[in-house]
Structure formats: structure tokens, C-alpha cells
Amino acid sequence: MDTRARVDAATVRRAVAGVADPELPPVTIGMLGMLHALTVTDAGDVLVELLPTYSGCPATEMIARDVRAAAESVDGVGTVTVRWRFDPPWTPDRIDAAGRAALREFGIAPPGGPLPDAPRPSGPDRSLPLAVGPTTSASEPPVPCPYCRSRDTVRDSAYGPTPCRDLRYCAACQQPFEAFRSR
Amino acid sequence: MSSATERPTSGLDAPPDGVTLPELDTPRTQVLLAIADDGLISGHRASHWTGVAPSLEEDLAFSTIAQDGLNHADLWYQVVLEADAGDSPAGVDALGLGRRPEAYRHAVICERPPRDFAYTLARHWVFDRFEAVRLAALAGSSDPAVAALAVKLRHEQRYHLEHAELWFDRLVGGGDEAVTRFHDAFADVLPEALGLFEPVAGEDAAIADGLLPVGHRKLREQWLEGAAPRLAQAGFGDLVPADDAAAPEDASGGRDGRHTDDFVVDVWPEMTRLYREHPGARW
């Protein structure tokens, strides 16, 4: 007779959802909406299905390892299987409110979502950003600055330090900043 | 003395222990290898600009495009292997790095060196418009793994296309030197780009069973429908390929494994060297 207590799926889920994104430590995979499904069998085996933000994100291996460790840390858990899937495709609207706040706090403008009110910039004439390459696409509304919340921003580059981020410039506080890509 | 001469002259080197690879000459695999290899080799050539692009923004752009190309290839190889994503790094390496040059199915235009920035941008524009129509077609594939990945990659590929289009507008709206150099680059790129639209072996079967809902010949029409008006509007109408035009002889046949020294002597030896010299290495 199996005397082990049944593993509580919600406990495992909490542990897995709390895994930090290795490139954005204040943000968890739960906040980012990467945790698609988690099932626990009667025997305590766990299947975790994750959605990658960007398909080629080099952090996926680390995330899978951390997710496995987090699930295994729960008492009674047996074999842990981590599976990546593309259906449904991850999109930035999966980032929850806490995740958006954490990204902004970290200095990265979150994509879309409700825009905070921002004061119009005041003060002396602002310098123009150095725009060497193509910049903002006209169809896209400006992303509020994560520092001063002004919307007087432009996209300097559609590509940034990771596949999921681009480079912006705030004319109000004259700060370059990064934004989570909007799609 | 070269160890290469002791290896099989075609197909796949013996995969490492524990790696089982599927038959490579099925229509499904041939189609998927063409898609993956286009990305892998284009990505390698895009990475040329890392550290030496004309601006920091372009350095980031081409480095990211290169990373995407390699990673997207990795994911298509996983579809070939019918493995869960991230589950089969050794199998992916065997497919991506363990084949002889003549087993690669990318179009010859992908293996050309980046030359100058005008040539790079002209090829970028042509190739990403091609990828866009092909991914749109694959999103309707009867194979669920193919369709799901295509849907996901379309989200990311749009950034490549947008980047290429912004540069297209900037250069055709620029000064004489920009327009002339961009025109000359397209004169080199467009004829060779027709090799992208050559079918792979067994493609008719892949079309018939819905794996590839739109074949490469038909993709050429879709691509031209979008590209021709843009080229004409830019004053490059003289370069629009005629409906019956074929790729020049030496830029043709990539889908059948006929590659030029740009691949066989340049890209392939460097790209596969670590894999060949250190069998079973992990990175």
C-alpha cells in the first residue's frame, strides 16, 4: 500500500511559477505567463508545459533546469518532465499586472496594457536622440518611459540585448531605456 | 591525410551513440531541412556583422537576426526529429552540423558572403519577404507540429521583415549613392534569389498531403506579387525577375545539395569544425 501523501498540485504550481527569469531576475515565469499547464499524477510525477517567450531564447535551458529543481523541491514529487510547446504561442499580453509592475521597476517598459498617466515634459528644449538606423514604426504608439512615465519616447532600435527587448529613448528625461517587445 | 576523405561522401556522418535519426530522404524531412537550412546558413552569414556593423543598432539587429536564424533552424530540426522542444540537443547537432555539404538543402543565395551593407540589406529584404510568405503557408500545414512552430515564428520574423522594409525605404529615399549602390546590390541578389523557389525532392508529395500547403514554385508567385510593386515604385522595375526567369546556373540547385565554394570551402568547414573534431562535445 502506498503510504505517501498525495502531492498537492497547487503547491507544485506555486513553486514552479516562482522560478525567476534568469535574464530578468525580479520577474518570474508565472508573472510572464510562461507556465501553460502543470499536472501531477497519483504517483507524484509532474508534467510541466511551458511557453517560451521568444522561440530561440537562450535562457530556455536554464529555465527548464530551474523549473525541474523547483518541482523536485516539493515533498513527494517523483519524476519531473518539462516540455516546451508553441501552441498556443506566447504573446506579451500573457504578462500579468505584477509582472508589468516588476518589469517597470527593473527599468524595462512592459508591453501594451493600461498606460499610466504621464505628465507632459517641461523644461528646456530637449536634445534629439542619435538616430542612426531606422527607428519607430509609425503604426506603433509610443511606449511610456519606465522612469518618468512620459510617452514622449521613440524606439531607437527594434533589437536589443536579448531577443525579447528593444531599445528606446525618452525625450522627457533624456534616458535611454529598454522595452519588452510588443509582440 | 584529411579525415574528411575517410568519411562517407554524402548524407550524414555516423551520429553519436544514443542518437537515432530519421530517414533523411522522405518528403517531410526534405522540406523541413530546406526550411531549417535556409535559417541556419542565413543566420551564419548574418553573424558576420556582429562587432563590425556600421552602427550599434545594426550590430544588435544582425546579431539578433543571426541568433534567430540559428535558433529557428534548431527548432525545425527538432520537428524533423519529432522530439519535444529542447529534448534532443545531440540529435539537433547531428542534423545541423553532422551532414556532408551536399546534404544541406538551403538555397545558394543564403550561403553568399555578406559583401557590403547594401548587398546584405538587399538580400535581407528578399529573403525575409520569402520567409514571410513561406511561414504564412506553413501556418496552415496539416502537420500540427509544423503549423504550431510556423505560427510562433511568424511573430518573431515580422521584426526581421520590418527591419528590412525600413532600410529599403531609407535607402531608396536616400541620396544618389544610396540608390545606386542599392540598385546594384539588387541586380546581384534578385537573379540568385530565384534559387529560393526551387522545389525540394519529393515536394509534390508534401504539397499533396498538406505538410507544405503552398509549394516553392507557388511561393515565388506570392513573393513576386508583393515584391514587384515595391521594386518598381523604388525605380528598380528593370530588375524585377521575369515570370519564366531561372536562377543562374551556379546559384541553382541548392535544394538538391549543389552548393558553391562559398559554402563548401567557406561556411561549412568553419561551422562544423568543432563538431567534427570533438565528437560528442556538448555546448
Integer CA distances (angstroms), A1 to A45, A56, A79, B245, in order: 18, 45, 20, 75
Distance CA A24, CA B111 (A): 35
Nearest residue of chain B to residue A54 (CA atoms): B156
Nearest residue of chain B to residue A65 (CA atoms): B86
In a domain, B7, yes or no: no
Residue B76 · residue B135 · CB < 8 Å: no
**Which of A58, A86, A134 is closest, CB to CB, to B149?**
A86
The tens digit of pLDDT for each residue in B69-97 reads: 999 999 999 999 987 655 678 889 999 99
What is the reported pLDDT for A141? 79
Read off the CATH number of the domain in which B52 is found.
Answer: 1.20.1260.10
Structural domains of chain A ordered from first start: 9-90 (3.30.300.130), 108-183 (no CATH)
What is the reported pLDDT for A91? 86
What is the reported pLDDT for A134? 45
In a domain, B9, yes or no: no
What is the reported pLDDT for B6? 40
Q: Which of B152, B153, B170 to mutate to test the interface with A (most CBs of A within 10 A)?
A: B152
In a domain, B84, yes or no: yes
Residue B239 · residue B231 · CB < 8 Å: yes
In a domain, B50, yes or no: yes
Domain of residue B138: give its range: 23-272
Q: Is B60 on the interface with A (CB under 8 A)?
A: yes
Nearest residue of chain A to residue B165 (CA atoms): A134
Per-residue pLDDT of chain A (183 residues; tens, 9 = 90+): 454 568 999 999 999 999 999 988 999 999 999 999 999 999 999 999 999 988 877 788 899 999 999 999 999 999 999 999 888 889 888 999 999 999 999 999 988 644 444 434 444 444 444 444 445 555 577 889 999 989 889 888 888 888 888 889 998 888 899 998 876
List the 128-167 stretch of B: residues with Cβ below 8 A of A. 144, 147-149, 151-153, 155-156, 158-159, 162-163, 166-167
The tens digit of pLDDT for each residue in B25-68 reads: 999 999 999 999 999 999 999 999 999 999 988 999 999 999 99
ipTM here? 0.79
Q: Which of B62, B78, B155 to mutate to test the interface with A (most CBs of A within 10 A)?
A: B155
Please answer yes or no on whether B67 and A181 come within 8 Å at the CB atom.
no
**Which of B55, B72, B84 is closest, CB to CB, to A55?**
B72
Please answer yes or no on whether B57 and A157 come within 8 Å at the CB atom.
yes
In a domain, B248, yes or no: yes
Q: Is the pLDDT of residue B8 over 60?
A: no
In a domain, B130, yes or no: yes
Q: Is the pLDDT of residue B3 over 50?
A: no
Report the share of chain B in percent with pLDDT over 90. 83
Domain count, chain B: 1
Q: What integer is the mean pLDDT of B145-167? A: 93
Instruction: Look over chain B and give the mean of its residue pLDDT values, rounded to a whole number.
Output: 92
What is the reported pLDDT for B46? 97
Distance from CA of B27 to the nearest CA of A (A): 23
Nearest residue of chain B to residue A162 (CA atoms): B64
The tens digit of pLDDT for each residue in B103-134 reads: 999 999 999 999 999 999 999 999 999 999 99
Nearest residue of chain A to residue B85 (CA atoms): A84
In a domain, B1, yes or no: no
Q: Which three cell numbers stand for residue B103?
A: 546534404
What is the reported pLDDT for A159? 87
In a domain, B145, yes or no: yes
Residue A105 · residue A31 · CB < 8 Å: no
The structure's pTM equals: 0.87
- What is the enclosing helix (H) or strand (E) of B172? helix B144-172
Contacts of B124 in chain A (CB under 8 A): none
For residue B12, which of B111, B97, B110, B107 has the smallest C-alpha distance?
B97
What is the reported pLDDT for A67? 97
